[in-house]
Amino acid sequence: MEGLANLGINLPILVAQIVNVAILLGLLYLVAYKPVMRMLDERSRRIKESMEQADAIKEQAARAEEEVKKQLEAASRKGQERITQAVQVGEEVKQKAQQEARQEAETLIARARTEIQRERDGAVDELRKEFADLTILAAGKVIDRSLDKKAHRQLIDKVLKESTTLKKG
């Protein structure tokens, strides 16, 4: 032991220091190491749970995004269908309005033709009457006697009708 004393090491103090360090390590192990390790394990567990939750949230967000895309596509299709329907209804209304306008125009044209025919017939009848009167008057002056207007008018009307029939045919 003398060799240790020459080196400046005192054996009882060295043993006391080794015992003190062992007691200190034991206390640190019990007081600090276990709680620190428990805290680190707990933190590691929470981080792992957070990572799992983050993954679950990412998957959920991806599913939600996919669902939103599907809904947007469906809404787009429905909107396109409604636009197509509106265009078809507009075309139908337009065609119906055009058809009604054509029918109305044809009706007006038919009425106008009927009215023109009636006026023409009336004018022809009036002209015949005037012609008959003038013919009777002229014949009366030529013959210098009074003629039976009614009989002559019937005769002239008959001749005019025959000449009109010949012109039409």
**C-beta of residue 128 within 8 angstroms of C-beta of residue 103:** no
Q: Which of 166, 122, 143 is nearest to 152 (CA)?
A: 143
Share of the chain above pLDDT 90, in %: 54
Model confidence pLDDT, tens digit, residues 102-156 = 999 999 999 999 999 999 888 888 887 877 777 776 666 666 555 577 777 777 7
Is 60 exceeded by the pLDDT of residue 83? yes
Kindly state the DSSP code that residue 29 receives in the 8-state scheme: I
Question: Does the predicted model carry a pTM greater than 0.85?
Answer: no
63 vs 35, higher pLDDT: 63
Tell me the pLDDT band of 36, cut-offs 50, 70 and 90: confident
Residue 32 pLDDT: 82
Residue span of the structural domain in which 139 resides: 2-168
What Rg do the C-alpha atoms of the chain give, in angstroms? 63
Is 70 exceeded by the pLDDT of residue 53? yes
Whole-number Å distance between alpha carbons of 24 and 33: 12
Total count of domains within the chain: 1
